[in-house]
Structure formats: structure tokens, C-alpha cells
Amino acid sequence: MPGGVIGVHTGLILGANTESELAGVLGHEIGHVTQRHLARILASQKYDTFKNIAGLALALLLSRSNPQLATGAFTTVSALGIQNRLDYTREHEREADRIGLQILDSGGFDVRGMPSFFQIMQRGTRFEGSAPSFLRTHPLTSERIADVTNRVESMQYRQVTDSIEFHLVRAKLRASNGVPESAITLFEQNIRERRFNNEMAEHYGLAIAQLRKNAFAQVEKELAWLRKNASAHVMIETLAARLEVAKNNPQQADKQYAAALARYPDNRALIYGYAEHYLAIKQPDKVVKLVLAKQGLYPDDAHFYDLLAKAYSMQNKSLLSHQAQSEAHYRKYDLARAIEQMDLAAKANDGDFYQQSIVEARLKQLRLMAADEKKPKS
């Protein structure tokens, strides 16, 4: 479905003060998707194209008798097209706000997070050029914020505690930005002055920043604090494994990843890290075994196929490597490259009869999808 993919920039997570603020933006974007706004815009543009062609044809006819009338007609056609798009955008934003608030409320978040973050965004874009706000992709007018605020006032108040994951991810992002020394100084100062929303997250962020600097003893110190004073969490165990990788202790890293995976068997980031560790130490057989065992949990995850493609390439299995690359591209909505890679897999000639049959059948299916996409939609 057009518009079915929502991208989240790390700046959005850092800019949000609460999890409900972040959820408010995502709820708004989900509103765009569920209401098929992109598909409706594309359909509207197609209709506007026909109107513009008719208007331009009229302008050409007028140009023979009166050039000034022709110029006026051309300007009118262009202005109407722009205005229609702006009206459509404003309508979609209001609709996405309404749907987003419903999603936010039903998800158990604080609905005040949406207008709160909109105000943050408005302050952040106040000095972005001289164009009126309604000309931006996501227009943030005072009227729109007031409308959302009024809607929120009629909804039930709910005080929501941010999840530990929200705090840890924000700490990780803060620790990963800029030079590590600056991040270390900031985290140490926050801990010393007790200036934080979550102490566990500050120590975790400090450990991440120290790891970037290869200050292994300091990372171990922070890990010891976390394991003594904080609740067990997969992100802490993943950090411990990353520390062993950085120290070039592959056996200890393997043990740490294995222990963490036994405790958190479905965690995707942990599976990624474990597989990438095996790739780094040239053990593709273990990558294949791990990914195939976990892939059923996330069948639409493109990165699993990327990992498989690299592992099969290390094993010199061309058919399987190209097949995995194809499936990765397909899950990234790149049908052309998916067909290209599946075609290479079909021509590899290093698979057995069963593998070859699967590849050829899938190639046929992908080509049918591509042909169907080219058909005119009624």
C-alpha cells in the first residue's frame, strides 16, 4: 500500500521529552497510512493532471488571439493546482491528527503528548525560512495545534510512566552522537549532580560512550553498577557482549551472546549482534544456523536476509547468496533489484534441483508482480 512505511529519525526520539510525545508523532503518521493519504494524493494528482492539460490547451488556443489572456489562463491553472494540493495537505493533517489521538488513547499513552510535541516542533521550525507553515510538508499552524489541544481537553487524563526502553534508547543515542569525550563528560556530570529522569539510563549511556573510546575498564565498572543496581535488561546484556567483541575476546563474546539469547530468545537486536559477531570472526555456518532458527519470528525482516546473503557468500554459495539478497530487496520494496538478484540466483548453477526450482518459481512470481504494477490502475 502506498505510504505503508514509516521512517523514524533518531532526532525525533532525542527531541521527544516523553514516550507519549514520541507516540503522538507515530500515531499521527499511522493515521496518514490507515487513511491512505499518499494513495489519495497520487489519485488526486492524476485527476489534476487532466485538468491542467485541459487548461493549458485552452491557454494555447487563447494565445492565438490574445497573449495576455493566455498568460492569465496559464497562471490560473498553475495557482489552482497548487491551492488544491495545499487544501488536500491541510485536510489530511487534520484527519491524521484525529486518528492519531484515537490511536494514542487506545494504546494507553497520554494524549497530551501529541500537542506537547507539536509545540516543540513548532518552536524548532520557527526560523526555517520565510515560507508560511502551511507550505511545509506537515504544516504546523497555531490553529492546528489549538484544534488538537481542544480535542485533548475532552479526553480522559492519563498519567503515563515512560518505559525503561525509551530512556535507554535515548541514552544510547546521546552517547553515540558527537565525540565520545563530550558525551562522557555530560553523563558523568548528570550522575554526579543527580540530574536525570532515569539513573539506569545515565549509567548505560556512560558505558556506551566509554566503549566508543575503548575505555574497557570504565565500561566494566558501569556494567557492574548496572547489574547491581538496575533491573536485568537485554540492552545491558548486549552491551556486555559488545564489550567482549571490542576487547577481541571472541570466545567470551560467544558465551555472552549465547547466555543473553537463552534469556531473551526473541530479541531482534540481540540476534543481529550475535550474527554479525559470527560474520566478523568468519563463521558463516553459525550465522546461517542462527538466522534460519530465528527467521520465522520475523519473516518480513530484510536484515535477516542481508545477514544470510553475507554468510552464503562466505560459503561460496552463489545461488543462495543472490536469493537472500533478492528477498532482502523485496522486503525493502525494491522490486527491480529483487528481480535482478533472483535472476542472478537462477543463473548461478551451483544449487541442487530443489533450490533451483524454488528460485525459478520465485523469479516468475516477482516478474508477474512487476508486470502487474505496470498495468494502468482504474
Give the domain ranges of the chain. Answer: 10-153
Give residue 91's pLDDT.
Answer: 79
Give residue 187's pLDDT.
Answer: 98
Give residue 131's pLDDT.
Answer: 43
Give residue 77's pLDDT.
Answer: 41
Q: What is the pLDDT of residues 19-48, one digit of tens each?
A: 999 999 999 888 888 877 565 555 555 545
Top pLDDT among 194 and 69 is at: 194
pLDDT value at 132 more than 80: no
Q: What is the pLDDT of residues 56-97, one digit of tens each?
A: 454 445 455 555 544 444 444 454 454 445 444 777 888 888
Give residue 67's pLDDT.
Answer: 55
Give residue 17's pLDDT.
Answer: 94
Give residue 106's pLDDT.
Answer: 93
pLDDT value at 310 more than 70: yes
Q: What angle do CA 266, 334, 269 make, to 5 degrees?
A: 20
Question: How would residue 52 be classed by pLDDT, with cut points 50, 70 and 90?
Answer: low
Percent over 70 (pLDDT), the chain = 80
Give residue 64's pLDDT.
Answer: 53
pLDDT value at 225 more than 70: yes
Percent over 90 (pLDDT), the chain = 65
